Amino acid sequence: MTIRAIRGAITLDRDERDHLHARTTELVEAIMRENALTTDQLVSVLFTCTPDIVSDFPAAAARELGLGAVPLMCAQEMAVPGALPRVVRVMMHVDVDRAREDIVHIYLHGAVALRRDLAQ
């Protein structure tokens, strides 16, 4: 068994529950698709949000996607002055037999600015 971590992030246009769920779903589905993952390969998922996101937990959207049996956790990012606003970040721990350099990290919408070196 090889555990790899997959990073990703997405920005919100507004802090609204339905929008947060839609964007979280978009991010999780993109990571799963681009890395050809099944739910059974997920070990755990950590979500963080910038302090300006308070409408709901990204994990709630992940549970709606069928990840209820996967350990999910949410936390708040540091409030760094000048940081990109309304960002949901994710770190997925997955069980895959794949080299670290073959993992596809996903940065969507305004979050591309966070890691231009990794964004698709």
Q: Which of 14, 34, 74, 101 is catalytic?
A: 74
How big, in percent rounded to 5, are the helix, strand and coil portions of the chain? 35, 30, 40
In the chain (120 residues long), the average pLDDT of successive 10-residue segments reads 95 98 98 98 98 98 96 97 97 96 96 77
The pLDDT tens digits of the residues spanning 71-85 come to 999 999 999 999 999
Q: Is residue 17 flagged as an active site residue?
A: no
Q: Is residue 26 flagged as an active site residue?
A: no
The two three-digit tokens of residue 18, written as one number: 């339905």
Q: Please, which residues bridge with residue 44 across strands?
A: 93
The two three-digit tokens of residue 6, written as one number: 């997959």
Q: Is residue 86 flagged as an active site residue?
A: no
The two three-digit tokens of residue 84, written as one number: 């990109």
Is the entire prediction scored with pTM above 0.85?
yes
